[in-house]
Chain A
Amino acid sequence: MVLRKSGLAAAVLLACSPAAFSDDLNINGFVSVGASVLSNTDVHIGNYDDNASFSNDTIVGLQISKQVNDTTSATAQLVSRGTEDYNTEAAWAYITYAATEDLDVRFGRLRTPFFYYSDFLEVGYAYNWIRPSGEVYRLDTFSSINGVDFTQRFSTGSVDGSVQFYYGRFSDDFTPVDETYNIELRNFTGVVLNLTQGDFGARLSYHQADMYMPELGTKTGALDGLITAATGAGVGDKFVPDGETTSFYEAAVTYDNGDMFFIAEWTALNHETAIFNDDTGYMVSAAKRFDDTTIHLTYSNQSDDLESGTVGQIQKNLEGKESSITLGARFDYDTSTAFKVEAQYQDEDTYLGAPGESGMLYSVAVDLVF
């Protein structure tokens, strides 16, 4: 019996610590498996429809990191998403150089730190929802960039914080409405300030980039139609973004005392070009924990801000305005596994310039980390 027990203990040790034998090679992973169904297809939420879908919230990620020497480490995170036919992509691949004890420099492919949840957007286990609110978390295409960032950590009294500055470039396919275009964002840069004091946290960030979309106007999509209309009205040059700057502002406050959790996050997107509408998106969310069960409620809202005059009249063709209310529960039935259920009421005031509809999205998911 004693023998069997220690045999079991050894087996458990082996199973639990895959990295135990290669001192500083770390392997971590996360898996989310979800199923959702939309009450009707008059509302538009991602790729969901009124048949049960099993791939929209399904994500597998594997992270390998290796401390190369005292100051340098290498990290790669490979992510495979159900929304992209499980093609595997490097969401992160970077080298970290610890310049000082409190200053890290990272080179490579990094997650664009637009939002409070950007860094761990795909690690469902790290937050209460099945997915963060789509009204605020809306720059999916640009979620990773190639570049460099500097993170300086500091403490003053009981406040801990960090300032992150990044600079990079982005180039990829982008499908804003119906047609796909190559988009390039040059001088892609931003700064993020993070502060925590006890149960309170705050985050402020600013981002900007120069936008190039040379294929605009050469295809037959909604945006090409917009350019034709604008050219006819004599304001065509306002709708050609080449080199114009886009800015993004974000502010978030959080409170977490272990049993109660609160977050409010506000964002605004501001384009110099008129081809895309400026917009504002915000959400307010509260959660209460009862032992292993967490109940959460979230309101989020997004609305386009149009320019005045003829330009605004043309922009109106693609105007969007929507809000949602999400009620959900998370059950932590094991220290590394969470089961989640959610009901989301989506109210589309305006969708692509036309009056919208409302509908419900029901989802379940299992999130785990290892």
Chain B
Amino acid sequence: MKLFKSISKIAIGLTLLIGSLVHAEVAVIVSASNANAALDQDTISRVFLGKTSNFPDGSQAIPVDQTEGSASREAFNDKVLGKSSSQLKAYWSRLIFTGKGTPPKESGSDAEVKDLVAKNPNLIGYVDASVVDGSVKVVFKF
């Protein structure tokens, strides 16, 4: 009986692990104290591409990226921005070398981005949905 219990625990654990690998959901988050409710993909994309620096309610929006190569970043670039990492690099090099913009700051992994965003109502980031807690608010999910 005990053996059976632990085997089923392992099985459930494995299922959850595989499930989370396959269905890893990424959430775009702002601080719980940010006044904006849901944001649409176009707004998020304009903030992350430096085309606008404001949330819809007019407050300042500062995007934070994850470190290059993270799974959440790849998914975000692909699904929300619709660009490959080299296209994004080319996009930013057009702005960097003309003094017209700088890319979002690279601010670590899921957990680190969540902690940063929680503390500052002007920040917007994206994290794996599994690390979301009450300190942040999900404004978009994919």
Contact of B89 among A77, A196, A369 (CB under 8 A): A369
Among B52, B83, B89, B97, max chain A CB count under 10 A is at B97
Contact of B100 among A30, A101, A119, A127 (CB under 8 A): A119
User: 25 A-B residue contacts at CB 8 Å?
Assistant: A26-B102, A61-B97, A96-B99, A106-B99, A119-B98, A119-B100, A120-B94, A125-B89, A126-B90, A126-B93, A126-B97, A151-B100, A155-B52, A160-B51, A160-B52, A196-B51, A258-B83, A258-B84, A289-B87, A292-B86, A335-B85, A335-B86, A335-B89, A336-B89, A369-B93
Nearest chain-B residue to A151 (Cβ)?
A: B100
How far, in whole Å, are A257 and B100 apart by their CA atoms in the complex? 22
Asked whether B90 lies within 8 Å of A125 as measured between CB atoms, the reply is yes
Asked whether B68 lies within 8 Å of A335 as measured between CB atoms, the reply is yes
A11 nearest CB across to chain B (Å): 15
Nearest chain-A residue to B42 (Cβ)?
A: A158
Contact of A65 among B46, B60, B87, B99 (CB under 8 A): B99
How far, in whole Å, are A323 and B102 apart by their CA atoms in the complex? 37
How far, in whole Å, are A94 and B97 apart by their CA atoms in the complex? 12
Contact of B97 among A73, A77, A257 (CB under 8 A): A77
Q: Is B13 an interface residue (CB 8 A)?
A: no
How far, in whole Å, are A257 and B96 apart by their CA atoms in the complex? 22
Q: Given A151-B100, A335-B89, 5 more contacts at CB 8 Å? A: A73-B99, A126-B94, A155-B52, A335-B68, A336-B89
A307 nearest CB across to chain B (Å): 37
How far, in whole Å, are A122 and B53 apart by their CA atoms in the complex? 28
A 111-148 to B, binary, CB cutoff 8 A, 1 in contact else 0? 10000000110010111000000000000000000000
Q: Is A75 an interface residue (CB 8 A)?
A: yes
- Interfacial residues of chain A within 150-208, with CB under 8 A of chain B in the complex: 151, 155, 158, 160, 196, 198
Q: Is A332 an interface residue (CB 8 A)?
A: yes
How far, in whole Å, are A77 and B84 apart by their CA atoms in the complex? 27
Query: Interface size bucket, B side?
Result: 20 to 34
Asked whether B84 lies within 8 Å of A94 as measured between CB atoms, the reply is no
How far, in whole Å, are A69 and B48 apart by their CA atoms in the complex? 23
Given contacts A160-B51, A196-B51, contact A125 B93 (CB under 8 A): yes
How far, in whole Å, are A289 and B90 apart by their CA atoms in the complex? 14
Q: Is A92 an interface residue (CB 8 A)?
A: yes
Asked whether B84 lies within 8 Å of A332 as measured between CB atoms, the reply is yes
Asked whether A101 lies within 8 Å of B93 as measured between CB atoms, the reply is no
Nearest 8 Cβ contacts at the A-B interface: A332-B86, A119-B98, A160-B51, A335-B85, A126-B94, A369-B93, A120-B94, A126-B93
Nearest chain-A residue to B52 (Cβ)?
A: A155
Chain A neighbourhood of B98, CB < 8 A: 92, 111, 119-120
B108 nearest CB across to chain A (Å): 11
B96 nearest CB across to chain A (Å): 5
How far, in whole Å, are A192 and B99 apart by their CA atoms in the complex? 16
B59 nearest CB across to chain A (Å): 11
A252 nearest CB across to chain B (Å): 14
Asked whether B46 lies within 8 Å of A160 as measured between CB atoms, the reply is yes
- Interfacial residues of chain B within 27-58, with CB under 8 A of chain A in the complex: 42, 46, 51-54
Nearest chain-B residue to A16 (Cβ)?
A: B68
Q: Is A63 an interface residue (CB 8 A)?
A: yes
Asked whether A30 lies within 8 Å of B52 as measured between CB atoms, the reply is no
Asked whether A28 lies within 8 Å of B86 as measured between CB atoms, the reply is no
Given contacts A127-B90, A160-B51, contact A30 B97 (CB under 8 A): yes
Chain A neighbourhood of B97, CB < 8 A: 28, 30, 61, 63, 77, 119-120, 123, 126
Chain B neighbourhood of A257, CB < 8 A: 82
A 301-337 to B, binary, CB cutoff 8 A, 1 in contact else 0? 0000000000000000000000000000000101110
Contact of B82 among A120, A127, A258 (CB under 8 A): A258
How far, in whole Å, are A77 and B93 apart by their CA atoms in the complex? 13
Nearest chain-A residue to B106 (Cβ)?
A: A17
B 64-103 to A, binary, CB cutoff 8 A, 1 in contact else 0? 0000100000000000001111110110011011111010
Nearest chain-A residue to B68 (Cβ)?
A: A335
Chain A neighbourhood of B102, CB < 8 A: 26
How far, in whole Å, are A123 and B60 apart by their CA atoms in the complex? 31
Q: Is A341 an interface residue (CB 8 A)?
A: no
How far, in whole Å, are A73 and B89 apart by their CA atoms in the complex? 23
Q: Is A274 an interface residue (CB 8 A)?
A: no
Q: Is A43 an interface residue (CB 8 A)?
A: no
Nearest chain-B residue to A111 (Cβ)?
A: B98
Q: Is A338 an interface residue (CB 8 A)?
A: yes
Nearest chain-A residue to B90 (Cβ)?
A: A126
